[in-house]
Amino acid sequence: MHLGSHGRSRSLGALAALGLVLAACGSSSPSSSSSSSGNGSPLLVGVVAPFTGADASLGPRYYAACVPASLAINKAGGIMGHKVSCQQFDTRGEPADAVPAAQQMIASNSNLMAVVGCTSDEASSVVPIIDHAHVPMFCMTGQSEFNKSSFTYFHRLVPPDEFDAYALVGSALDVNHYKRIALVFGNDIGSQAFVQPATNALQNLGATVTINQALALGQSSYRTEVTAMLATHPDAIFTEALGSTDATYLSEVKQLNGSSIPFMGTSATIDPVWFAAVTGAIGVPDVLKYFQAVDLGVSFSGPGYEDFLANLTASAVQNADAIKYKETGSTLHLYDGIMQTALAMDATKSTDPTVYNPEIAKIGNGVSGAVVVNTYAAGVAALASGKSIKWVGAGGPTSYNQYNNSQQGYILVKYDAQGNEVQYGALTEAQTAAVIAAGGG
């Protein structure tokens, strides 16, 4: 898989979206009425993400957000009596596969209340389709093209990838005092989104990019690439290469160098699948000693998180791997997005997304005099008593801008021996912004 083929697939996916969207999207709203039908018909949250392919580790973390959210909603009686369920739609991490997945989801589900997932691998192809269908979406894409999104139904509760890159640079230079960085990223769209911002910031702040490698994912060996990288003598490696790629590459670094060298990952490397693969390749002690990462700025505490954790634990009956994602920032934020959508539906007393979509940002940000709620049941009760509400959930407060983007700071993390995330520092949004201003270029 090469960058050229990814770019071509994305263009073809976008053209396919334009050609197919008119045929499939017209009747996708859960209701054509501005009020609830009251018939208790079920509602669906679609999880559009890679569940197979090189980035298959992404889909499960998003599905792990949906099931506990549906449990919490259904336990409280549903959305105006409508129960909620979740369904996976596999994009394989490829734009060309994502288009029919999104089309199939919309054409076959008139009860679609929201969509979560839509990673950088496929967002450019599927966001126009979902938006045209008038379905609110909470996307995990980091692409800068969505920083000032023109899509009415697009929401993003995480910073763009360029901020992730700047946070990595800030951690490397200011916290660890590394000056020579090797960039080792997968050649998929999502991973490559980090490379140019990181390069700009490193160079503008006086550091050196010793080598920039775009790895073809899933190869059995990277000895040639590792040899070339080691010859540049970096202080540390920046990486995001999912599937088996990072594990294979880092194993050969250890073999050819005689020991591991420091390596730093994006938030995508805070993942149980990634941890298992890399520790299996280089050993737990090396991961504990040499690995660091940046993750989304969440505290893993507070009443919203505790309610999420209780529902996540209960969801193990439906999703045995759920508890692995208890400290995965993307899981927390997508859970919050589903909850905000459900409460927006309750607030407007509508299952028509053209009615409740504008309310989502109001629920997330709060309006003057709004009551803070941390659970779905509390939100329903407050609305029933005539109060306005502000959702502060598993991922903490939301601050949507006019483009429905909400950005927070970052935490600096490592792993413990059991694969749990351990915070050792933090970068506020202001500190990340300072790196952008000084070195963003």
pLDDT of 174 strictly over 50: yes
Q: What share of the chain is helix, strand, coil (3-state, %, to 5)?
A: 50, 20, 35
Q: Do 109 and 200 have their domain in common?
A: no
Q: Do 260 and 238 have their domain in common?
A: yes
| DSSP string computed for 78-132 | -BTTB-EEEEEEE-TT-HHHHHHHHHHHHHH-TTEEEEEE--TTTHHHHHHHHHH
CB neighbourhood size of 371 (10 A): 15
CATH number reported for the structural domain that contains residue 154 in this entry: 3.40.50.2300
pLDDT of 441 strictly over 90: no
Q: For residues 411 and 297, what is the distance between their CA atoms, to the nearest angstrom? A: 5
Residue 165 lies in a domain: yes
Return the closest-CA partner of residue 376 out of 62, 157, 40, 74.
74
| Tokens of residue 223, six digits | 């000895």
- pLDDT of the residue at 154: 98
Structure pTM? 0.81
| Tokens of residue 116, six digits | 């979560």
Residue 244 lies in a domain: yes
Domain count, the chain: 2
Residue 416 lies in a domain: yes
Q: Do 15 and 129 have their domain in common?
A: yes
- Residue 69 belongs to domain spanning: 3-159+302-391
Return the closest-CA partner of residue 148 out of 430, 364, 402.
402
Q: Do 290 and 422 have their domain in common?
A: yes
Residue 399 lies in a domain: no
Q: Do 207 and 119 have their domain in common?
A: no
- pLDDT of the residue at 39: 63
Q: Do 193 and 271 have their domain in common?
A: yes
Q: Do 348 and 432 have their domain in common?
A: no
- pLDDT of the residue at 318: 94
pLDDT of 71 strictly over 70: yes
**In 3-state terms, what secondary structure has residue 431?**
helix
Q: For residues 77 and 70, what is the distance between their CA atoms, to the nearest angstrom? A: 11
Phi and psi of 240, rounded to 5°? -155, 100
Residue 287 lies in a domain: yes
Quickly tell me which residue has 């992730």 as its tokens.
164
More confident residue, 434 or 301: 301
Relative to beta strand 112-117, strand 154-155 is: unpaired
| DSSP string computed for 259-291 | S---EEE-GGG-SHHHHHHHHHHH-HHHHHHHE
Q: Do 182 and 290 have their domain in common?
A: yes
Q: Do 13 and 34 have their domain in common?
A: yes
What is the band of 440 on the pLDDT scale with cuts at 50, 70, 90? Answer: low
**In 3-state terms, what secondary structure has residue 245?**
helix
The answer to whether 53 touches 93, Cβ cutoff 8 Å, is yes
Q: For residues 337 and 114, what is the distance between their CA atoms, to the nearest angstrom? A: 9
- pLDDT of the residue at 297: 80
Residue 260 lies in a domain: yes
Quick one: average pLDDT of 55-84?
97
Q: Do 10 and 141 have their domain in common?
A: yes
Q: Do 417 and 279 have their domain in common?
A: yes
The pLDDT mean for the chain works out to 89
Q: Do 251 and 307 have their domain in common?
A: no
Residue 402 lies in a domain: no
Residue 403 lies in a domain: no
The answer to whether 110 touches 134, Cβ cutoff 8 Å, is no
